[in-house]
Chain A
Amino acid sequence: MKAQFNNVYIRAIAACSGKTLHNVAKTCQSFLDEKHAARLVKTLGFENVREVPLTMTTADMCVEIAKDVITRCNIDKDSIDALIFVTQTNDSVAPASVFVMQDKLGLSANCYLNNITNGCAGSVHGIFEGACLINAGVAKRVLVCFGDTYCKVKDIEDSDQKANAALFGDGAGVVLLEKQENCAPIYFNVQAHGNLHKVIHDTKHSDRVERLKKAAAQGLVDESALLPYQTKGIQIEGTAIASYAIDNVIPNVNDLLSLANLTKDDVALFLLHQANKTILKAVALSMDVPQEKIPFVAQNTGNTSSASLALAICESHEVTNRLKDGLTVLSAFGVGMNVASMLCDLSKTTVLEAKYF
């Protein structure tokens, strides 16, 4: 789905991660020799991953930085017409976390709530939904929250894919959208490829598994029905993700630029989901875009799922400075699989410094 909105302004961006830094090389040495651990760090580019306290959830992080955004922008809470929360790590199955967040933030009963399940592409999806509400005329101010607590460092012994310890950090982000007539247009290109749903999957806490276990116990299905789901935590096909980035993300961004009638040279910054260093390098080479325009800045944060774009903006002065140079493409891709890209002007957006818990 492609869209252009001429009345949506990105007023503020905030992000946070964990104070606790886990050194990836040291962590990996518990299951890899020194040489291979070093190679893994070199390939993924993550020297440290950040973890929030176990007492903190994604929703908690979002509430904290959403409060900061409300204070910094000096807005009346009652003027927030919609709260959108995108995550794969909800506080609970019921109620949806967004209801608890509404309560903690003290938002009005008239505030529209939506809790979306999405991973790495979730931030742009959430912003897209918020922009749609504003463009439809039903909201003037929307708070979009996103993030995940996918730091798997503590689950190494219980994981099929121990290399995930070198990959995931915890993080969250918040974007404040406002209606503003005749502002710089925002373009979106949002695509999904459900046929690739097995590329990244986590069936550990799956309702299907629980039901199948009961069905098998009652003799309704053979035990073998459970075999495809006998995994421990998140499973990732690395090559398929790189393939997706090159074969789907690049055309998605190119189509976005065509929609805006622009070329790559018109864009100051291509900020891509900080999946890992090598994937971003492969994209830069394939797109013919200088490496510095597709920065990898998550070396001390980790892959923070949907928070990675906001964290890159709020953590990296290199990125923040580039926002002022001109137009920015934000492109996020991941589990689903899906890719969501947007072209926008963030030069006047308030960027809050990253916060660590």
Chain B
Amino acid sequence: MNREEVFTKLNEVFQDVFDDETICLTDESKASDIQDWDSLEFVNIIVAVMQTFNIKFSIEDLRKLKNIGQMVDLILQRLSHD
């Protein structure tokens, strides 16, 4: 899976979790850019990402991320390890 494919899938995950088809992520998107973002949705995103990409990571790893671009890079990194 290349970066663009990961990005597209991740966007779908966010649209599904937040029940909002207007979500359009960019590399620079941050939690604060997403309406309704809270700790519960963060956990939902983690579960959905693990299920969608069939990967695992610690939540601490995710908490360190500054934007969506870094999340895509982390997913790509995990995919290459599996």
Q: How many interface contacts (CB-CB < 8 Å) are there between A and B?
A: 53
Instruction: Name A243's contact: one of B36, B40, B56, B59 (CB within 8 Å).
Output: B59
| Residue B24 interfacial (CB < 8 Å) | no
- Contact partners of B44 in chain A: CB under 8 A: 43, 278
| Residue B47 interfacial (CB < 8 Å) | yes
Contact between B47 and A285, CB atoms less than 8 A apart: yes
Nearest CB of chain B from residue A191's CB, rounded to whole Å = 17
Which residue in chain B gives the minimum CB-CB distance to A278?
B43
| Residue B39 interfacial (CB < 8 Å) | yes
Contact between B50 and A43, CB atoms less than 8 A apart: no
- Contact partners of B47 in chain A: CB under 8 A: 278, 281-282, 285
- State in angstroms the CA–CA spacing of A228 and B51 once bound together: 38
Contact between A43 and B41, CB atoms less than 8 A apart: yes
Nearest CB of chain A from residue B17's CB, rounded to whole Å = 9
| Residue A317 interfacial (CB < 8 Å) | no
Instruction: Name B46's contact: one of A40, A237, A240, A282 (CB within 8 Å).
Output: A282
* Chain B interface size range: 10 to 19
Contact between B51 and A285, CB atoms less than 8 A apart: yes
Main secondary structure of the interface of B (DSSP, over half): helix
Instruction: Name A242's contact: one of B19, B36, B43, B51 (CB within 8 Å).
Output: B43
| Residue B33 interfacial (CB < 8 Å) | no
Contact between A246 and B19, CB atoms less than 8 A apart: no
- Contact partners of B43 in chain A: CB under 8 A: 43, 238-239, 242, 278-279, 282
| Residue B81 interfacial (CB < 8 Å) | no
- State in angstroms the CA–CA spacing of A265 and B54 once bound together: 20
- Contact partners of B36 in chain A: CB under 8 A: 36, 39
- Contact partners of A40 in chain B: CB under 8 A: 40
- State in angstroms the CA–CA spacing of A238 and B46 once bound together: 13
- State in angstroms the CA–CA spacing of A36 and B41 once bound together: 11
Q: A35-B19, A43-B41, A238-B40 are in contact. List 17 more A-B contacts (CB 8 A).
A: A43-B43, A44-B40, A163-B40, A238-B39, A239-B39, A239-B59, A240-B39, A242-B42, A242-B43, A243-B60, A247-B60, A278-B43, A278-B47, A281-B47, A282-B43, A282-B47, A286-B56
Query: What is the interface of chain B, defined by CB distance below 8 A to chain A?
Result: 19, 36, 38-44, 46-47, 50-51, 56, 58-60, 63
18 contacts between A and B (CB under 8 A): A40-B40, A43-B40, A43-B43, A43-B44, A239-B43, A239-B63, A242-B39, A242-B46, A243-B58, A243-B60, A246-B59, A278-B40, A279-B43, A281-B47, A282-B47, A285-B50, A285-B51, A286-B50
Question: Ordered nearest first, which 9 A-B pairs have the shortest CB separation?
Answer: A238-B39, A243-B59, A239-B39, A242-B43, A285-B50, A282-B47, A43-B40, A239-B42, A278-B43
